[in-house]
Amino acid sequence: MKKSFLVLCSAVLMLTSCAQKPATTKTQTKQTTMSNPNDTTPIVKTEEEWKKFLTPEQYEVLREKGTERAFTGKYYLNKEKGVYVCGACGNELFTSDMKFDSHCGWPSFDKEIAGGKIKTHIDTTFGMVRTEIMCAKCGSHLGHLFDDGPTETGQRYCVNSLSLDFKKQ
C-alpha cells in the first residue's frame, strides 16, 4: 500500500510539467520541410504516409502526441536568429524574437506568428486540463500553451524540439 502511494505521488509529480510521455532521444535524420510555408492548403496524409516521412522519434511526438525528455531537445538552448517551422510540414510558427528561456526544459515562445498558424485543443489527458497546440496546416502535435509566461503576453508556448525545424536567418 505504501509503495503504491509513493508510485502514485511520483507519477503525479512527473505529469505536472509539460511532459506527457518520454520520446526516444535519437537525433533527427530526415528532412522534414515539405511545402512552401506561405501555402495555407491543409496537408492530409495517412498515418502510414507520415511514418514513411518522419523519423520514429518525430512520429511519436508529432503524430502520437508524445513528448521528448526535458532539457534534451535540439532547439532548447538555440539562440540563433531565424524562424521555427513545423517539423512535419514547414509551416512557419515562431520567430527567434518570440523565444525566451522559461527554464522548463523545452523551447518556449510568448506568441505565435500571426495568421492562424497554430490551432488549440483542450487536452484532458493524465487527469489535467491543458491547452494543446497543433500545427494548423497538418494537425501535428507541437506541445502545450500555458498562461504563466513572464513576458507581456503572459503566454508560454511550450514546444518539443522534435516538432520543429529551424531556418537560420
Q: Please say if 18 is a catalytic residue.
A: no
Three-class SS of residue 161? Answer: helix
Nearest CA to 61 among 80, 79, 87, 82? 87
Output the CA angle 39-79-158, nearest 5 degrees: 65
DSSP H or E segment with residue 122:
strand 118-123
Residue that is written with C-alpha cell 526516444 in the block = 24
> Nearest 5°: phi and psi at 93?
-115, -45
DSSP state of 152: T
DSSP state of 67: B
Instruction: Give the residue numbers annotated as catalytic, written as ranges.
Output: 158
